[in-house]
Every structure is written in C-alpha cells, then in structure tokens.
Amino acid sequence: MIYLFFSIIFTSCDDEENILVQEAVKLLDQEDVLFLDVRTSQEFKYEGSIKNALLIPVNDLEKKITMLEAYKSKNIIVYCRSGRRSKMATKLLKEKNFNVTNLEGGFIAWRKYFSSKQ
C-alpha cells in the first residue's frame, strides 16, 4: 500500500525521483519514512529542521553511509536548503540501493509551505 502511495506522489526529473512538500508533509509521522537532512550542522542548528530528521552533511555522506544501513528498509526523503545538494545525495544513495527521494525545493520550499498556512 505504501509503495503504491509513493509511486503516485513522486515525480520524475532527469532519472531522479522528487516529492513535493505538500505530499512529504503527509509522511512526517510514518514509521517507514526517514527524513535525511544533508545541510551543514550550522544550517541545521540555526535555520531549523524537519521534525525527527537525521543530519548527515552531504560532504560526509559517503564516509558515513554505514550509519544509514539501519534505514535501508525505509523510504528516505533527502533535503538540503534548496535541492541542489540533496539531488547529489539522492544519486549517491540510489547507487547504494537505498529507497530514496529528493524533496523538491528543499527546506526553503518546506518553510514557504508552512508560512503560507498561517
């Protein structure tokens, strides 16, 4: 069922799967979904983050990939500030056979979505 849900909401762009913020929000509390933040620790600390996100900066991702092995059965939604770094991370994780999707527009789009709801 969750597979069907994911296949419906993802869009394809240059062989990279993306998910829109309004769809990712619905997955926040799903047990089989992990939000992976690939920004710097400074960005994570000072700009905020998505609830329960795991931080592994993109520059550290390849050497810390073993940290993610425990999440291999989960659907991983990767984000950064705008989407550029998370696309690189998504590509790397796909090559390592993770179930991974890029958050379209990154944390900027995430915050914009919530600011428009107020």
Per the structure, the complete domain to which residue 96 belongs is given by 37-118
What pLDDT score does 116 carry?
83
What pLDDT score does 9 carry?
47
As a whole number, mean pLDDT of residues 92-110 equals 97
**Does residue 89 lie within any of the structural domains?**
yes
**Does residue 56 lie within any of the structural domains?**
yes
pLDDT interval class at 118 (50, 70, 90): low
| Active site (annotated) includes residue 80 | yes
As a whole number, mean pLDDT of residues 67-85 equals 96
Distance between CA 41 and CA 111 in Å, rounded? 18
Per the CB < 8 A criterion, the answer to whether 105 and 11 are in contact is no
**Does residue 8 lie within any of the structural domains?**
no
**Does residue 46 lie within any of the structural domains?**
yes
As a whole number, mean pLDDT of residues 59-86 equals 96
Helices (H), the chain: 2-9, 21-24, 41-47, 58-61, 84-95, 106-116
Domain count, the chain: 1
pLDDT interval class at 10 (50, 70, 90): very low
**Would the pLDDT of 114 be above 80?**
yes
**Does residue 99 lie within any of the structural domains?**
yes
**Does residue 24 lie within any of the structural domains?**
no
User: Which CATH number do you get for residue 67?
Assistant: 3.40.250.10
**Does residue 101 lie within any of the structural domains?**
yes
**Would the pLDDT of 5 be above 90?**
no
Instruction: Please identify which of the residues 19, 53, 61, 80 carries the catalytic annotation.
Output: 80
Nearest Cα to 26, choosing from 48, 8, 46, 45? 8
Q: Could you give the percent of the chain with pLDDT greater than 70?
A: 86
